[in-house]
Structure 1
Amino acid sequence: MSNKPLIILGKNIPEGKRTILDIEVAKLHTRTTVKVPVIVERSLEEGPVILLLAGVHGDEVNGVSIIREIINQKLNVPKKGTIICIPVFNIFGYLIQTREFPDGRDLNRMFPGSLNGSLASQFAYQFTKEIAPFVDYVIDYHTGGGERDNIAQIRLESSEEKTLELANVFNSPFVVNSGYIAKSLRESLNKMGKTVLLFEGGKSKNLNPTVINHGIRGTKNVLIHLGFIDGEITLTEKPIFIKKAKWIRSNYSGMFKILVTNGSRVKKKDILGVIQDPFGEFKKRIYATADCHIFCINKTPIVNKGEALFHVSVEEEEESI
């Protein structure tokens, strides 16, 4: 007995084969068509559908590398169900290494999109109508924006038991409780009843081998856990669960020197960094305001007063999972 038809972007996806689809985004002013490749691997056995998606922000390249390695290692070839890979979602931003779409919009604030809206909104609408309805699970890969460097982490809504279960299986060093952002891809997929893991690691325009390895191993764990592929789940450490967090901000402007390692645990009044002037006359220390874990550091060399420097846990709300 054959499986029920799977039709994505108007094309029937055959069983037991690899299918390459294209999302046609738009034409450039040169009349060149811009397409986003969609790689679909469907097994002979009926099962769920998972989407691995990166590059919503074009300059966040760690996720692109993670999916590239997933494909290279053939971890996207399922024994059951269907695995869809979109390594580069915002193809415009990826080509010129910028976060935004050509219309200046943040694609991750445009969902579910509009048929007659801005270019980013129309693209979001096309995805929402032609791909999202057919998936059951999504792993969405991101990095810190600008010079913000995230330790490898999963972000989720902690009240969702199924998502929390998958986060434990993914086994990143940190799991961060994070509410839904209006019009984001994650919020839109959640409203459609999809289970979404949002992976964060590293910073923009930077390939971090440690983060990439965490992403590959975690994705493989999830694929094994859900029955897409065979293998042994690899758990390397018990994730630290950050239920509540805050930013330690700069009280001064100047050159920023970091004195702690991302992901480390610090004590109250530990020196995290210093802010200095270029003339050797001014030096101010930045202290930890409480015992906490650091899971994101702003690595910009020059900071202004009020700028967010260290994203830290609020200790009384922190617990292991």
Structure 2
Amino acid sequence: MKEVNIAGQEIRPGEFREININIARLPSHTQIDTPIYVSRAMEDGPVLALMAGMHGDEINGMEVVRRILDRGLHQVKRGAVVCMPIINVYGFLNYSRDVPDGKDVNRSFPGSKSGSLASRVAYHLMHDVIPFIDYGIDFHTGGAMRANYPQVRAVLRDALNVDLANAFSAPFTIDAPFRPNSLRREASRKGKNIIVYEGGESLRFDTQAIEEGVSGTLRLMKHLNMIDWAPEPKEQNRVIWTTSWVRAKHAGLFQPNVQCGQLVHKGEWVGTITDPFGEFKEQVKAHETAYVIGMNNSPVINAGDALMHLGMDNYCKLEQANED
């Protein structure tokens, strides 16, 4: 049987182990550890990493991994599952996307053992976990007051990424290039395929996004022959090739009249901007035929603010061509 080592510890067949990676300590001398839960089956199979909390305020991903642990879904029949519910413990404790020095962990890879806090977190992940896995899912949400409809992001020129994304079968699969110094890019340089799952917004539980994350993970496990059953998708998976933002032309109060996941047509009225004093009202219209894959839930907006994220699949491109 192949050897499974995580953070320098061998995981034997049939074993479940909690491993704590010490990152640093606070000025109060409080140690900051990143907990890792590893469950290995008796039979050989792939090693799948489930990683959440890269940004400390993105709690939907943490809840996906927590539910997988709570329901015993990490106990697969073949292979091993590595669960990391909270990568950025600093950010989680401070309700923050970043670490205390203001840096983004997901822009700090491959990291440095003696660098910034964010760089140290990235370093430990790249040296203690990533070299020893086969595949990974990196769970994220939208930013502050921005909700993402359940979606997988991956570089779709890679056939294996396409295979993994199709197996996960989220409502949307988005062709997303690598971000500089991100986990996904640096892992790919080590020959590891990691897809990103996005759902909901930061600091707010989204039941649909959480359950889609759990179900999609099970479908991917089944595809990798780690388990024998997984739930069928509730929605058709649509592959998004291009994305754009509808932006506010004026400052004011924004009220959408469409929902995340909905198909909108070019020129369709998708929301209204008013001012607090009743002096003007402006209709916001879609600039293309596309699906709403993300929404700004903040009612108070400034000129140029992103209001909704639109994504086009091949069907949308065909529909718009016919409309034009």
Name the amino acid aligned to 1:265: L
2:53 and 2:61 in contact (8 A); partners too? yes
Q: 2:85 aligns with which of 59, 71, 87?
A: 87
**Secondary structure of 2:39 counterpart:** strand
CA-based RMSD of the aligned residues comes to 1.6
Corresponding residue number in structure 2 for 1:291? 289
Corresponding residue number in structure 1 for 2:299? 301
Task: Identify the range of structure 1 (99-108 vs 229-238) with the bigger mean alpha-carbon deviation.
Answer: 229-238
Name the amino acid aligned to 1:28: L
Corresponding residue number in structure 2 for 1:155? 153
Q: 2:67 aligns with which of 66, 69, 86?
A: 69
The answer to whether structure 1 residue 253 and structure 2 residue 255 are counterparts is: no
Task: Identify the range of structure 1 (12-21 vs 200-209) with the bigger mean alpha-carbon deviation.
Answer: 12-21
Q: What is the deviation of 1:165?
A: 1.6
The answer to whether structure 1 residue 126 and structure 2 residue 124 are counterparts is: yes
Q: What is the deviation of 1:238?
A: 2.2
Q: What is the deviation of 1:230?
A: 2.0
The answer to whether structure 1 residue 239 and structure 2 residue 247 are counterparts is: no
Corresponding residue number in structure 1 for 2:322? none
Q: C-alpha separation between the residues in 2 aligned to 1:314 and 1:74?
A: 37
1:293-315: CA deviation from partner (whole Å, max 9, x where unpaired): 11101111111111111111246
2:255 and 2:299 in contact (8 A); partners too? yes
Corresponding residue number in structure 2 for 1:107? 105
Corresponding residue number in structure 1 for 2:48? 50
Q: What is the deviation of 1:146?
A: 1.2
Corresponding residue number in structure 2 for 1:146? 144
Q: C-alpha separation between the residues in 2 aligned to 1:45 and 1:319?
A: 46
Quote the sequence identity (%): 37
Aligned residues: 318
Q: C-alpha separation between the residues in 2 aligned to 1:128 and 1:276?
A: 48
Q: C-alpha separation between the residues in 2 aligned to 1:317 and 1:184?
A: 31
Taking the TM superposition and a 5 Å limit, the aligned residue runs for 1:269-284 are 269-284=267-282
1:248 and 1:312 in contact (8 A); partners too? yes
Q: C-alpha separation between the residues in 2 aligned to 1:315 and 1:38?
A: 37
Name the amino acid aligned to 1:251: K
Question: Structure 2 regions of 5+ residues with no counterpart?
Answer: 319-324
Corresponding residue number in structure 2 for 1:30? 28
Q: What is the deviation of 1:172?
A: 0.9
Name the amino acid aligned to 2:287: T
Q: C-alpha separation between the residues in 2 aligned to 1:171 and 1:122?
A: 33
Task: Identify the range of structure 1 (131-140 vs 13-22) with the bigger mean alpha-carbon deviation.
Answer: 13-22
1:73-121: CA deviation from partner (whole Å, max 9, x where unpaired): 1110121111100011111111121100111100000001012211110
Q: What is the deviation of 1:232?
A: 4.2
Corresponding residue number in structure 2 for 1:167? 165
Corresponding residue number in structure 2 for 1:227? 225
Q: C-alpha separation between the residues in 2 aligned to 1:65 and 1:232?
A: 19
Corresponding residue number in structure 2 for 1:198? 196
1:108-147: CA deviation from partner (whole Å, max 9, x where unpaired): 0000101221111012111111111000000010000111
Corresponding residue number in structure 1 for 2:96? 98
Q: C-alpha separation between the residues in 2 aligned to 1:161 and 1:14?
A: 32
The answer to whether structure 1 residue 207 and structure 2 residue 228 are counterparts is: no
Q: What is the deviation of 1:220?
A: 0.5
Q: What is the deviation of 1:236?
A: 2.7
**Secondary structure of 2:45 counterpart:** coil
Q: What is the deviation of 1:242?
A: 0.9
Q: C-alpha separation between the residues in 2 aligned to 1:319 and 1:41?
A: 44
**Secondary structure of 2:44 counterpart:** coil
Q: What is the deviation of 1:12?
A: 2.1
Q: C-alpha separation between the residues in 1 aligned to 2:258 and 2:102?
A: 35
Q: C-alpha separation between the residues in 2 aligned to 1:246 and 1:44?
A: 47
Q: C-alpha separation between the residues in 2 aligned to 1:21 and 1:146?
A: 31
Distance 1:315 1:199, change over 3 A: closer
Q: How does the TM-score come out when normalised to structure 2?
A: 0.94
Distance 1:129 1:33, change over 3 A: same
Runs of 4+ in 1 over 3 A off after TM superposition: 314-320
Name the amino acid aligned to 1:237: E
Task: Identify the range of structure 1 (300-309 vs 226-235) with the bigger mean alpha-carbon deviation.
Answer: 226-235
**Secondary structure of 1:48 counterpart:** strand
Question: Structure 1 regions of 5+ residues with no counterpart?
Answer: none
**Secondary structure of 2:150 counterpart:** strand
Corresponding residue number in structure 1 for 2:321? none
Distance 1:319 1:290, change over 3 A: closer
